[in-house]
Amino acid sequence: MGISDITVKTIDSVDKSLGDYAGDVLLIVNVASQCGYTPQYKGLEQLSQQYKDQGLRVLGFPCNDFGAQEPGTNEEIQQFCDLNYGVTFELFDKVHAKGANQHLLYKTLTDSVTPSGAVSWNFEKFLIDKKGEVVARYRSGVTPDSPELMDAIEKELAK
């Protein structure tokens, strides 16, 4: 199963098929409002603004699995992102990125790329090509403006 076969819920609790993004390059990130990496929201928004017209879609999935750093409701998360970072990229319903209740999206992501295995912290990034295949994984310390990530995004957008 590819990610295109997976349905997720938007932050407004509406079902959305990831197949709707066919032809776009996706950057899927598990996000949290109270993490040391939370300022990456700014860089993710900059990536979204810089590349959205070329087909990049940044998708943020709030997650409370790591240090209970995303305790808020969807409404609180949305408000936090709007007020603090002006986030316009899409946010989704809270998911479990690891553990017994791991969301199918994260099971698929973590099984589909090297290194495989559980997400280790907030703001881990998965790059998905236009065909819906996972092409790269970046740990939390790789910032949105890192040359490594930006070069990979540009390479996928150019295909």
Please name which of 30, 34, 127, 140 lies closest in space to residue 80, comparing C-alpha atoms: 34
Give residue 156's Cα distance to chain centre.
16
Decide if 35 is catalytic.
Answer: yes
Under the phi-then-psi rule, with left for phi > 0, alpha for psi from -120 to 50, and beta for the rest, what region is 115? beta
Enumerate the β-bridge partners of residue 126: 28, 137
- Catalytic, out of 35, 56, 77, 128: 35
Q: Which residue has the tokens 């979204």?
A: 48
Active site residues: 35
